[in-house]
Structure 1
Amino acid sequence: MTNVSDIRIAIVDDEPSIVTMLQMVLRREGFHQLYAASTCAEALDLAATVSPDIVLLDIMLPDGSGLELCSKLREYGNPHILFLSAKASDLDVLRGFAMGGDDYITKPFNPLEVAARIQARIRRLEHEAPAAGPGMRLEPGIYRFSRFTVNEAEGELIVDGQPVPCPAQEFQLLLHFCKFPGVVFSKTQLYDKVWGINGQGDDSTVMVHIRRIRERIEIDPGNPKQLLTVRGLGYKLVKETQER
């Protein structure tokens, strides 16, 4: 079982009151390795030094945009990035996911919700069994399909023989489909199984992640052949596999 005190969380926000509030709530939840940065430059220095597991990232920072910072943080590992932003339009949320964010919460927010989403992610990772599901596996935790391979243990996606960067939440979503090829999952089920959130979430979240996965694994993302939409039901990864 994961010890939450071992989880490294970076809070990147230039509002001291928000940082203090989050630190107080997260400490009460048992998180002790908490780090703070108020600018993009400080955040990059922090990432290089401590390699955080989770980043709570504001979008509007004094020296740049958190959206652009998101991709730079990936150079120091593959943290779970949760945007915290006053930008609340559907377009802003979609842009956040498109830039590589794993989650998005709009300000003002309840800090307990932030803590709950972090805890949900930790629980989901704990409960995933490498050997679960009927996916095509070369060895435990490795799933091969017609043009891509997913290595669960190494967090690696290989497409046409080449490693392809894949943000954490997209990787976990693709991994879930790999474990259960041919099974149709509704958006509600995906929120429960992959995001660890009970009930229906924002439709755009799943939609954006599905689109970005298709851009990585499909020859023609606009005409997908592997990760399919089943109208009125949800999504499925087709069973077509290839022995090598």
Structure 2
Amino acid sequence: MIKHCPQLYKMSLQQLPPELLCAIFSHLPPNDGQSLRALALTCRAFISPAQASLFDTVFVSSESDACIVLAKLESIPHIKMFARRLSLRDIHRPWIQHSQVLHDILGLVYPYIVSLDILQRRRRPDSPRFAFPSLAQLTLLEKISLSEEDVLELKTMEYGDNGIPTFLNYFPKLRAITLDGCYVHNEAVDSSRSIAAPIFLLERLDIRWSSDSLLLDWLMPALSLLQKLHVTLATPNLSTKLAQAGESL
């Protein structure tokens, strides 16, 4: 009956709670902003759920992107409450740490962001990895995905590269980590090197690729409450680390 009565179908959807409408709208294809905007124009009840899906992720890959995002957040202030994920691409030149515009964006969305994705592309081997203390204000962060350029032969221990452990320790509420291409070849943890232990406990670890022995060694104490471990490609050093961890996982 509903199938042949569009008006009745629309009315039945309007009566659904906003949380359920958000769940329904989330099944639209990724980045399908056109459909979400069309839904928002359909009726008043669809506006907030459509905006929640439309502005769920804040994508920024350059300073110019950041200016556009900041302008939108300032012109439509309530949409900042829908932001749950921040996706940063540090590709063309290092800009994340020194961007005043990004700092202003974080000042607006930090109470709502629970997920962070970063792709970093370094130009030189001595460039620090994920040296972004400015992101530490994301105090509610629960999920993080880190990816860097393919530098399989790059050895960085001579530069004192504890960058990823240092960065991850900004986030005490961290519960899920995805390593989606941490290619740097770092040696295992040296007891003579001072690296603060993880301040968080993980529930999920998704390793799509990592050749960073230091990072894997450092993470082991945080895995005591691990509920899910997913490994897409097990490098030899990763297999060794997991075997050493044994029943502690």
TM-score, reference length from structure 1: 0.33
TM-score, reference length from structure 2: 0.33
